[in-house]
Amino acid sequence: MTTNSSFSEQLLTWFDQHGRYHLPWQQNRTGYRVWVSEIMLQQTQVVTVIPYFERFMERFPAVKDLAQADIDEVLSMWTGLGYYTRARNLHASAITIVEQHQANMPKDVEALIALKGIGRSTAGAIISQAYNLPGVILDGNVKRLLTRLNAIEGWPSQSQIDKQLWHIATQLTPDQRNADYTQAIMDIGATICKPKQPLCVACPMQGQCLALAQDKVALIPTPKPKKVLPHKTISVLLLKNQYGQTLLEQRPSKGIWGGLWSLPEFSDLKALQTQLALNGLPTKTKPLAPIKHIFSHYKLTIEPHMLVLNSSPHKVAENSKSQWYDNQQLHTIGLATPIKKLLEKTP
C-alpha cells in the first residue's frame, strides 16, 4: 500500500510546476462556487464545464440567487450538460442552504453530505478547495490513480475495494495545502494517469507505482463487469400549429429528463395515432429519422412523427402540462437534448 509520507510532497512539487491554477472556480474561491463546479465536473470534462460554469455564475452569482430562481430557468442553463438530476439537486440544496444555514455554505463534511446531490468525495473536495481544510476525495480519477499505484485488482466500486481506497486516500491526505493537494491529485489522475495510455514517463509517482512495476497498468483498474443494456423504442409527436409553433409537454419531475420539456411521447405509432383520433385530429403523420440515445441503464430509440395542423389544440394527452412554443423561445426552457437537436434541424 502507498503510505509514503512524502507522497503529498511529491505531488505538490509536481503541481507547483504542472498544475492548473487558472480554472474559473479557482478564482474568487467560495464554498458556493466550488460546490457548483464540483457538481458540474461530475461525469463531465473541465473544458466542457468552463463556459457553463461562467454563464451559471453570471446568472446566479450567490446561493440565494440560485435558491430564488425558477427550476425551469436552472434546467435551461444546464441544457447540454446532461445528468439533469444534478441541476435539480443543486437547486433543492440551494433552498435548504438559504432556509437552514442562513445562506452560508456548510463547512463540515456531515452537513454537506446531508444536502441533496453531495456525496462523500464531493464534500471532501468542497471543504479542501474552498476552505483549505483536510477533505478527502475519491472521485473516478483518484480511484484510478490509487488502484494503479497500489496494484489493486477488482472493480474499484466493489464495496471491499471502495473501503480500502477510502482508507488509502485518507492516509495520504496532508494537513496543509489541502486546496492544492486536492487539485493536484485530481489533475494528475486526469492528465497523467489517464484511463488509456497513461503518461507514466512523465509521472512523479513512477518509482513507487506497483502497477507499473508489475506491468499491469493496462489491466488496472479492472473494468466494471459488463451487462447488456436493455433497449426501448418510443414514438414522439412533433406537432406544429398554423403559426409554426411546436407543442411541448413538461415531463414529470421524476424519471428521465425529469422536469424538462419534451415532445408528447407514446409507446408506439399505434398509441400515438389512437390519441390523435381521440382528439379528433388527423392520424396520418410523417415519419422522421429515428434518434438513438444511450442512458447509463438503457438504450433508447426515439421515432419522431410529424403532423402539421391548421389549429392549436391545448393538448393531445390527458394529464399532461402542454404549451405551444415558438422556435425562438426554445433556448429559454430546459429541453431534453435529443429533442432539442431534433427541433433545431426541423424547420
List of residues contacting ligand SF4 (CB under 6 A): 145, 148-149, 192-193, 198, 200, 203, 205-206, 209, 211-212, 217
Output 145 or 336, the one with its CB closest to ligand SF4: 145
In the bound complex, what is the minimum distance in angstroms from residue 147's beta carbon to ligand SF4? Answer: 9
Of 152, 223, 137, which Cα lies nearest the Cα of 188?
137
Output 106 or 198, the one with its CB closest to ligand SF4: 198
Output 75 or 205, the one with its CB closest to ligand SF4: 205
Cell numbers 487539485 correspond to what residue?
Answer: 183
111: buried, middle or exposed (CB in 10 Å: 19+, 13-18, 0-12)? Answer: middle
* Torsion of the alpha carbons at 231, 235, 238 and 241, rounded to the nearest 10: -160
Output 135 or 198, the one with its CB closest to ligand SF4: 198
Answer whether the bond into residue 221 is a cis peptide, omega within 30°: yes
| DSSP letters spanning 67-134 | HHS-HHHHHHHHTTT--THHHHHHHHHHHHHHHHSTT----SHHHHHTSTT--HHHHHHHHHHHH---
In the bound complex, what is the minimum distance in angstroms from residue 163's beta carbon to ligand SF4? Answer: 21
3-state secondary structure of 240: strand
In the bound complex, what is the minimum distance in angstroms from residue 186's beta carbon to ligand SF4? Answer: 14
**Percent of the chain as helix, strand, coil, to the nearest 5:** 45, 10, 40
Output 119 or 140, the one with its CB closest to ligand SF4: 140
CB atoms within 10 A of CB 247: 23
In the bound complex, what is the minimum distance in angstroms from residue 183's beta carbon to ligand SF4? Answer: 17
286: buried, middle or exposed (CB in 10 Å: 19+, 13-18, 0-12)? Answer: exposed
Q: 200 is written with which cell numbers?
A: 507514466
Residue positions annotated with a catalytic role: 38
Q: How far apart are CA 166 and CA 334, in angstroms?
A: 37
Estimate to the nearest angstrom the gap between the alpha carbon of 118 and the chain centroid.
Answer: 12
Output 70 or 215, the one with its CB closest to ligand SF4: 215
In the bound complex, what is the minimum distance in angstroms from residue 149's beta carbon to ligand SF4? Answer: 5
In the bound complex, what is the minimum distance in angstroms from residue 141's beta carbon to ligand SF4? Answer: 11
